[in-house]
Amino acid sequence: MNTAIVGASGYGGEILVKILAAHPKANLVAVTSRSEAGKSVGSVMPELRSVLDSLKFENSDPHALAARTDIDCVFLAVPHGVAAEYAGVISKSGKKVIDCSADFRISDPAIYKEYYGQPHPDEVLLKDSQYVLPEITEDGWAEKKLFACPGCYPTSILIPLYPLLKKQVIGTKHIVANSFSGTSGAGKQSSQAFSYCEVNESAKAYGIPKHRHLSEIEEQLGLAGQGPVVLQFNPHLAPMNRGILTTITVPAGQSTIEDLYGAWKEAYGGRPFVYILSADTRPETKYTVGTNRVDMSATKDERTGNFVITSAEDNLMKGLAGQAVQIMNLWQGWDETTGLLNV
């Protein structure tokens, strides 16, 4: 299958390029970037000189991509608002679109406007799109025109919590999630706030109390069967390049740690990208960076009556590019690990 990437010079786009360049069943035939147009991929990403030096960045033109007959699937690695400009034009040409932005993650346009500060850019296409977190999304999604790839923070929270809500191991109240992200989660920026001296040797909370990803997290958790979920989400910027570590506390009620692990194993026992650690082990970001895996564990604090759940992932892999390729693999009927085990 022939693929293209819009916004291929950003952090997530670069990882997509590297994965698809080595993917045994996908050909990367087009990459676009407004800032790097005309340059070879090898000159912008020197590690790929011997692999993609003949492929050049093109201008980001949705109509040009839509008109091409040699492209089957387009990955959008551009900011929210911008992605919809490409998605509408490209999907009308019959190509599948996998969007890594937030434009199609929220099903309710009113919620999108509340959290993103602007009207939804394409409500018609929104109705024909599908949010896909492969480990929890119900079957039947592959017939849609557009697949919305989940956010990095939401993935680290939804995978641990969704089966617990579905099996009623936990309730919907008093859930608190504290997440720490590497600076690559903000994308390539030239602002002072993300300069080396500002982020090195420092950690800070931001986006409190209403980070944009909260809307996605609560909407998806609300689909688990217990009704609306209100969650306290506290994101932090950590002095590392890549990775997300999330710690969640939630009242255990009458449930035991065996109930929790039983729900996890039932949901994820056959899934290659969820690794369940023992209750006496804590996930670490250094062991998930470069993988498409979520590591997670939990313990029950008998003193407070809470479950304490921890997860770790690579924000640019399972939190973005790797998950997007996992979606492509499943859509095509390929093994979901194809091209993702040796990145």
pTM of the model: 0.94
In this prediction, residue 342 carries a pLDDT of 59
d(CA 2, CA 94): 13
In this prediction, residue 155 carries a pLDDT of 98
In this prediction, residue 9 carries a pLDDT of 87
Handedness of CA 176, 219, 320, 119 (dihedral sign): negative
Please report which helix (H) or strand (E) contains residue 111, including its range: helix 109-116
**Residue 222 — very low, low, confident or very high, per pLDDT cuts 50/70/90?**
very high
**Does residue 47 register a pLDDT over 60?**
yes
d(CA 62, CA 147): 17
Q: How far is CA 99 from CA 120, 144, 192, 340, in A?
A: 15, 13, 29, 18
**Does residue 104 register a pLDDT over 60?**
yes
In this prediction, residue 189 carries a pLDDT of 63
Q: How far is CA 243 from CA 169, 312, 336, in A?
A: 28, 7, 22
Residue 271 has, within 13 A of its CA and on its CB side, a CA count of: 21
Handedness of CA 90, 91, 95, 98 (dihedral sign): positive
In this prediction, residue 314 carries a pLDDT of 97
**Residue 83 — very low, low, confident or very high, per pLDDT cuts 50/70/90?**
very high
Tokens standing for 310? 């921890």
Q: What is the mean pLDDT of the chain?
A: 94
In this prediction, residue 334 carries a pLDDT of 96
Which residues are marked as active site? 152
**How distant is the alpha carbon of residue 25 from its chain centre?**
22
Choice between 289 and 42, residue whose per-residue pLDDT is larger: 289
Question: Under a CB-based contact definition with an 8 Å cutoff, are residues 133 and 109 in contact?
Answer: no
CA angle 191, 78, 25 (to 5 degrees): 130
- Interval 151-176 mean pLDDT: 98
- Interval 16-35 mean pLDDT: 94
In this prediction, residue 190 carries a pLDDT of 57
- Domain spans of the chain? 2-149+320-332, 153-313
Residue 273, SS3? coil
The answer to whether the 2-149+320-332 and 153-313 domains have the same CATH topology is no
Question: Under a CB-based contact definition with an 8 Å cutoff, are residues 151 and 216 in contact?
Answer: yes
Residue 247, SS3? strand
CATH topology of domain 153-313: Dihydrodipicolinate Reductase; domain 2 (3.30.360)
**Residue 193 — very low, low, confident or very high, per pLDDT cuts 50/70/90?**
confident
CA angle 57, 60, 63 (to 5 degrees): 125
Tokens standing for 235? 């994101």
**Does residue 315 register a pLDDT over 90?**
yes
CATH topology of domain 2-149+320-332: Rossmann fold (3.40.50)
